[in-house]
Structure 1
Amino acid sequence: MDGPRYYMACLDLTGRSVLVVGGGRVALEKVEGLLASGADVTVVAPQVVPELTRLAVTLVRRGYRSEDLDGRFLVVAATSTTSVNRRVFRDAEARAQLCNVVDVPELCSFILPAVHRHDPIAVAVSTGGASPALAQRLRDEIAAVVRPEHADLARRLRALRPFAQSHFATYEERKAYFAGLVAEALG
């Protein structure tokens, strides 16, 4: 196995403080994804693309400082300056904070998969940082399989969770109940 084997998880960023260091197009892309997940985003950069000024973020127009990490749940470094990206990663590591340096997997405590959303379903594909282009291609191919009826089914199943919790004593019973409903709905 080459490189790390990542533990896949979905993070609830609702209301959590996230720092993005950098103000260019790549930072904009990351900020949009973070905002879509409900994060409270602060962007630190001496210069920002105009689109960032129109988003619901806190803009700090200056260079990165270590104290910018205070109180953050996670951080994304998206600058074109290698020394700044390395410093952000080092500082985050020293604080045991999750950090992603865009397009530099060896400077990441987490990586971001290619994601397709059809709420509440999210399909994520990762190549472990080996090839974002391949991850995007696979995501697009898999996303073509996810149809509106799958999202509708997911919503109906979510509504049944309280019923299952109160009527089935064990995880195994709940799992079998939901597997049966999915098999019935999708054949």
Structure 2
Amino acid sequence: MAYFPFYIDIKDKKILVVGGGKVALRKVEKLLQFEPKITVVAPFICDEIRKLGVSIIERKFIDSDIDNIFCAISATDDEVVNGHIFKLCSEKNILVNTVDDKDKCGFIFPALVNKNGITAGITSSGKSPVYAKYIRERLENLLDDNADITETLFKYRKRIKSEIRNEADRKIVFERLLALCLSRDEIDDNLVSKLIEEANNEN
């Protein structure tokens, strides 16, 4: 099965994480980058999760825990509990991820990159997680080497769109600007003005 990379704003969305160990911790840490409202439910919750400032309910999962949530992550080591949560969520059309059980997942966690204005999820659809991790690490290194490019392009995006009417010409200017960023040329207002003028004069 190939998974569609569906990007969605989860800020302030209610997310339930069932499980309080290291696996749950990794999921919570990934999610917190995007500012949802997370509740962790488990009989035992590790200190690392407690320090993250999420809501804590220290008891076993009960069915009403899924009321009014956006999605659930089942990260327990109990297959019966995981299966029950998956069944409940499926019946109520709630997205659910069951850790290490792809057959009980409505969505999966990709190898995630989120830095320098770029967010990317990489998955091999379960075929080779180690290769997805390798690609993620390569992409992280690329972004580290070009940390300021996203902000530079964003800085001039609105101006270029407003001053160049033709979409094809705008694309050319953005590509030229990107090439200059990658070659470490100094980008300033005068250079961008020149690129815009050249694009408009070509028509």
TM over 0.5: yes
Correspondence list, 1:104-119, <5 A? 104-119=101-116
Deviation at 1:183, TM superposition (A): 2.9
User: Is 1:179 aligned with 2:160?
Assistant: no
Counterpart code for 2:59: R
| % identical equivalent positions | 32
C-alpha distance in structure 2 between counterparts of 1:87 and 1:135, whole Å? 30
Please point out which of 5, 8, 11 is paired with 1:11: 8
Q: Give me the whole-angstrom Cα distance separating, in 1, the residues matched to 2:66 and 2:104.
A: 16
Are residues 166 and 69 of structure 1, via their aligned partners in 2, closer, same or farther at CA, if it must alter by over 3 Å? farther
Structure with bigger gyration radius? 2
What's 1:145 paired with?
142
The correspondence of residues 13-32 of structure 1 with structure 2, limited to 5 A, is 13-32=10-29
Moved more, 20-29 or 54-63: 54-63
Q: How does 1:1-187 map to 2 (within 5 A)?
A: 4-148=1-145, 150-167=146-163, 174-186=170-182
CA RMSD of aligned residues (A): 2.2
With normalisation by structure 1, the TM-score equals: 0.85
> How far off is 1:173 after superposition?
5.8
**Higher mean C-alpha deviation, range 106-115 or range 129-138:** 129-138
CA distances 1:110-163 after superposition (whole Å, capped 9, x unpaired): 111112332212343211123323321232233222234x33110122233433
Alpha-carbon distance in 2 for matches of 1:21, 1:138: 29
Cα deviation for residue 176 of structure 1 reads: 4.4
Q: How far off its partner does 1:167 sit?
A: 4.2
Instruction: Give the 3 Å change call, closer, same or farther, for CA 156–77 of structure 1 in structure 2.
Output: same
> Is 1:23–1:47's contact at 8 Å kept on the other side of the alignment?
yes
Structure 1 unaligned blocks of 5 or more: none
SS at match of 2:147: helix
- Give 1:20 deviation, angstroms: 0.5
Distance of aligned partners of 1:45 and 1:159 in 2 relative to their CA distance in 1, 3 Å threshold? same
Instruction: Tell me by how many angstroms 1:22 deviates.
Output: 0.6
| 8 A contact 2:116–2:143 mirrored in 1 | no
What TM-score, normalized to structure 2? 0.79
User: SS in structure 2 opposite 1:100?
Assistant: strand
CA positional deviation for 1:54: 1.3
